[in-house]
Structure 1
């Protein structure tokens, strides 16, 4: 049940979080626009550069949620404390546990936003942004349709349905024509990988066309010589941590089935699952500051402390992620350790609240 107290405290917290998020997005957006304008050329116009930055903002929203939640809740609750409203609530017999409950109810809305942005909005807009920029700058991927990406290599037309990380393609079709525009050969491959000597097609079906008949053959592997390079496809892929959790899990399963290393994607997967919990911990971490040792300091000092905590968490999280990839640590352990540390810090600080 949502009471008037829940709405009042929740509104203060959510207003602070939204204000911090908006400020961070304005700053990041400005620097991103400056960087993108340097790439403006030919088909990549100024308008497309602005569109690219705008479509990339959901990615930053998702990445900034924990820090914005910590800073925003510090500001929102700090204003209540500065106006002696929290003290009045305590004097009226409202316990800290009841106030925490109101904050957590607001946190449920934040968690829902984190999940929606991370699992749906950010992956979708990031893909659209990358594809738009690719179409404007690339001279090898010439057409994007609902049926994938199309390119032309001399008399061969290439259709790629899915571009995977690590120079991997899925659902690849090649159509070879002669000088008279007659179809000579159609090749379909379940997947393609880039190796030292070029592209290799896997699980291949080859159809050869003549005036009298169509001959179909199956091959496990087939070398594919083309001018299309992995670097030209990089812009089509989305960074692992921006893929939806389900897509990450499927790709991890694919890598395992093919005997390939999947640690970096496992770290991204567990990070996606932990993101809502990280945001909740950051929200809880702000409460002891307001009731504890920082209750009498200014908003600026609270923001500074919150920013330092956010930076520490980010650095710890990045450090353990890189260590997991380099030293083949357990991905769940690498993801959970910084989170458990901050959960312990929040619990310790709660115990010190008078």
Structure 2
């Protein structure tokens, strides 16, 4: 069995690596052309464009991994079926259950690689690429994406709510154009803080710089002539300060703020989980983020589905079609899986379906389809 395992794993790994290299080469060329145009406008040169294109490859690998596993596995197994190698293995005692177990173990390795690339390598290199673009262009901001955050906390024993707007984040992680609005329990505006820049630590301490603060404080009650109308401004005392810096305590630590500023596709699984927990705690809608979290969590296990889809091709007769036709069928299966996965996410958001069900349904559907086809081929072919 060790020899059979070595034969299968070596053949399938070689095919998957070949398919991955082909896809990544294509994406690298496309990214290089785009980056070359951007870098030429700022005089950075082709070497910088080549390096930036290289940095985004882990993200492409994460997206392409299940499809590369499917196409590579189909190519390898179909070739072995056409050359009767798989038939010889079956005659030598490689039963359906054992073949499925061997490929499931290989799929576990692909799933682990997908998880590491998606949660660690791709986010790290994406941040490095953003920092390099910002440094080369002379723009300190890593992007124009802003975010609104919400928080509730007690102030002088009373429940106050805060709405925080962040204009954008710099490549170093500092925040720019920060505005903090404080509201009392009745929804009245209590204070407004505007800061040019801010830094947030891991415990929720905000260090604001170049601050302008405006407070609306209630005046002590005074007798009013009943014949005269009382203006709302007469009951408030407005104070305004300009401060070089100030600190602001919050439960919004650096991880939550960074998650709010990042696109969901660029977040790691743990960042998505923390962000959805924050949204739920603040009674904000988190349906889209919950679906994104479960899709991110289930995505590595798509490798199991892809391997299961490829296994029936090993039980087809060599005369039932060439390898190219089977590979084309595998590509169509992979594309249909990606489309169904995306459509299910959008439909789940619109209909407010259970997030983990929405994320798991495409994989379970294709896994059931592959096992049904595998069982039929083993039984009747």
Fold agreement, TM-score > 0.5: yes
- Structure 2 residue aligned with 1:300: 324
SS for the counterpart of 1:27 is helix
Q: Aligned equivalents of 2:117 and 2:19: distance in 1?
A: 17
| Deviations 1:147-175 (CA, angstroms, capped at 9, x unpaired) | x337799xx8624348xxxxxxx754333
| Deviations 1:65-119 (CA, angstroms, capped at 9, x unpaired) | 1111100001111222222111111222332322222222222221221121122
Contact 2:12–2:76 under 8 Å retained in 1: yes
Q: Aligned equivalents of 1:150 and 1:44: distance in 2?
A: 26
Q: Aligned equivalents of 1:186 and 1:263: distance in 2?
A: 37
Kindly tell me: are residues 157 and 125 of structure 1, through their superposed partners in 2, closer, same or farther at Cα, counting changes over 3 Å? same
- Structure 1 residue aligned with 2:276: 252
Q: Aligned equivalents of 1:304 and 1:30: distance in 2?
A: 23
Contact 2:140–2:171 under 8 Å retained in 1: no
Deviation at 1:266, TM superposition (A): 1.1
Q: Aligned equivalents of 1:329 and 1:79: distance in 2?
A: 42
- Structure 2 residue aligned with 1:339: 363
Q: How does 1:140-179 map to 2 (within 5 A)?
A: 140-141=140-141, 144-145=171-172, 148-149=173-174, 158-161=197-200, 172-176=206-210
Q: Aligned equivalents of 1:344 and 1:96: distance in 2?
A: 16
Q: Aligned equivalents of 1:281 and 1:347: distance in 2?
A: 9
Larger radius of gyration: 2
Contact 2:134–2:171 under 8 Å retained in 1: no
- Structure 1 residue aligned with 2:11: 12
Deviation at 1:328, TM superposition (A): 2.6
- Counterpart of 2:343 (choices 307, 319, 326) is 319
The unaligned stretches of length 5 or more in structure 1 are 163-169, 178-182, 193-201, 204-232
| Deviations 1:163-206 (CA, angstroms, capped at 9, x unpaired) | xxxxxxx75433339xxxxx9531234569xxxxxxxxx99xxx
- Structure 1 residue aligned with 2:58: 58
- Structure 1 residue aligned with 2:186: none
Deviates more, 1:327-336 or 1:79-88: 327-336
- Structure 2 residue aligned with 1:133: 133
TM-score by length of 2: 0.70
Q: How does 1:148-297 map to 2 (within 5 A)?
A: 148-149=173-174, 158-161=197-200, 172-176=206-210, 184-189=243-248, 237-292=261-316, 296-297=320-321
TM-score by length of 1: 0.75
Q: Aligned equivalents of 2:356 and 2:268: distance in 1?
A: 17
Q: Aligned equivalents of 1:313 and 1:304: distance in 2?
A: 14
Q: CA RMSD in A?
A: 3.2
Q: Aligned equivalents of 2:99 and 2:48: distance in 1?
A: 46
Kindly tell me: are residues 241 and 176 of structure 1, through their superposed partners in 2, closer, same or farther at Cα, counting changes over 3 Å? closer
Kindly tell me: are residues 150 and 255 of structure 1, through their superposed partners in 2, closer, same or farther at Cα, counting changes over 3 Å? closer
